[in-house]
Structures are given as C-alpha cells and as structure tokens.
Amino acid sequence: MKKNIFLANLLIICFLIGCSNDDPDPVEPEQNVDRSANLLGTGDSANDILSNDNFTKLLIEIAYVEGFRPTSAAMNEFVDYLRTHTFKEDIEVIYNELPSPNEEDLSLQEIADLERENRTAYNNGETLAIYIYFADAPSDDDDEEEGLVTLGAVYRNTSMIIHEITVQRLAARSFFISNADVESATLNHEFGHLFGLVNLGSDPVNDHEDAQAPNHCNVEGCLMLAELQFSSSQRAATTSKSETGNLQSACSLSGETVLRLLEKSTAKGQSIAPELDAECLLDLRANGGR
C-alpha cells in the first residue's frame, strides 16, 4: 500500500515538473538593445522624421512621473503638428508611468541616465522611436531670482525633456493660459529642433538663423524665435553622441518669454500656440517634410 502511495506521489511530482518545463520562460528586459541610432546629436534624424524614405512610422514614448502626465489636448495638438509637417501617417503614442526620482532638480546627464534606465522604445525596422520625459523636477539651470525657468530641452536626436512641474507652475500664474497651452508650445518648439530647425540638420534655404542665438529663427512671431530660449550652447548638442559624454542642449525653452508670448497672442485674439514661419516651413520641405 505504501509503495502504491509512493508511486502515485512520484507520478504527481513528475507531472508538475513536466508542466512547469512546458511554460515559457519569464520575459526578461532586453539587455542588448541597439541604442546607437538613438544616441546621435539633435537634428541628426531630421530627414528620417520628416520623410518616409527610411522610416514610415513614428513611435512616441511618453514617459512621465505619476501626477505629471501631459494633457490629452496638448498631445492631440502635438500629433496634429507632426502630421502637418511630416509624411508620417502612422503615428503611435505609448505612455510609460514612472516613479519619481525624488530629486530637487535635474541635470541633462541625470535625465539621460533616467532615459537609459526606463526607455523602452528604440528604432526598429521601419519604426523611428522618440522618447519624451515629463519630469516632476525643474532644471538645475533654473534661476528663479532672475526669472529664468526652463520648460523643456532637447539633448539627442530622439530625446526630449519637458519639465512638467515648471509648466504647471507657470500656467497657474495666468487666468488665460492653461497647462495644455504651455505644453503645446513647449512640445512643438522643442520638436522643431528634432526637425532640424534652425540650421540644425535641416539646412536653411534662406538665411534666417539668429546670429546671437544659434539654431533659432530671427523672424518675428515664429515658433522657433530666438527670444523663446535663454541659453544656447552653440550647437553643443550635436556633439553629444555617447551615453557617457557630457550632454548639453542646443535650446533651453524659457518659461517667462513663452508665457508672455502666449498671453500676448490671447490678448490679440490670435491662435494661442505660435506656428512655424514661412522660412522654417521652406527648410522642412527642402529636407523631406510636407
């Protein structure tokens, strides 16, 4: 009797082991992802973003700290902006909620380190991936005493930071401007640099680059106007092509000037978000855009 019980138990154990071996292995995060195509300088992928020659799909990964997800209105406007200026018909937006890094402020290198830890979307086949991080901490370059606060910055060919906490604080100061308004202006301006504007991967057809603020436009009212940024590193972002090198941004979008511009447009009854001027549009079309 005991022998029969032992054999029965043995059969059950063998059955359970066999079943467990049939189960697929647990999914492990990819350790050998080729990130090289997403570690180039700002503007280096301008033609790939604008045209369908090498990539037919844009995959936008929105990484955000809990409580700092961008508004649906701003994201809808952003996708419309991409469809207007590129030939990408297939645009997918995915969201990745992340824990707070619990930092008082963030440097670009810290932002890049967070990207390496958390980014899931990279170029693959005909899909070009963009990473945008909405942070719960301001930039370490901010100088509130001088009224200089950074809304966003680009630091690689497919990487962008939006300091959402600063966006929200800025919008709260105005009765007429919403979070979505500031988000839209910030996203569209910074993505203009990923389009290669100005002279940052999309060569100017006519000279309209501001001599005092490289990579920005000198045409009044343009989305890429030099007035909208307060620090320029003379194309330093184009040299930031390694995961370990010091990162610099070609543009730090100034909250104060953006707020003034948006309020000025509202007072005139104009469209709140500024648009690209005719010269910038000409540059994009010459580099494969619509």
Rounded CA-CA distance 248/108 in Å is: 7
Confidence of residue 38 (pLDDT cuts 50, 70, 90): very high
| pLDDT score for 233 | 40
pLDDT value at 22 more than 90: no
| pLDDT score for 37 | 97
| pLDDT score for 267 | 60
Q: At what angle do helices 179-194 and 255-267 cross, to 10 degrees?
A: 120
Q: At what angle do helices 179-194 and 164-171 cross, to 10 degrees?
A: 140
Rounded CA-CA distance 289/40 in Å is: 20
pLDDT digits (tens, 9 = 90+) for 206-249: 999 998 888 999 998 899 987 776 444 433 333 343 444 567 77
For residues 36-55, give the mean pLDDT. 96
pLDDT digits (tens, 9 = 90+) for 171-194: 998 888 899 999 999 999 999 999
Backbone angles phi, psi at 279, to 5 degrees: -70, -40
| pLDDT score for 30 | 54
For residues 101-118, give the mean pLDDT. 96
| pLDDT score for 255 | 75
| pLDDT score for 271 | 55
| pLDDT score for 92 | 98
Rounded CA-CA distance 202/196 in Å is: 5
Among the ranges given (28-32, 55-59, 117-121), the one the predictor scored with the smallest mean pLDDT: 28-32
Across the chain, mean pLDDT equals 83
Residue with the larger pLDDT of the pair 26 and 271: 271
| pLDDT score for 34 | 85
Rounded CA-CA distance 288/290 in Å is: 7
Among the ranges given (60-74, 100-114, 115-129, 221-235), the one the predictor scored with the smallest mean pLDDT: 221-235
| pLDDT score for 254 | 72
Rg of the chain over Cα atoms, rounded to whole angstroms, equals: 23
pLDDT digits (tens, 9 = 90+) for 267-282: 655 556 789 999 999 9
For residues 123-140, give the mean pLDDT. 97
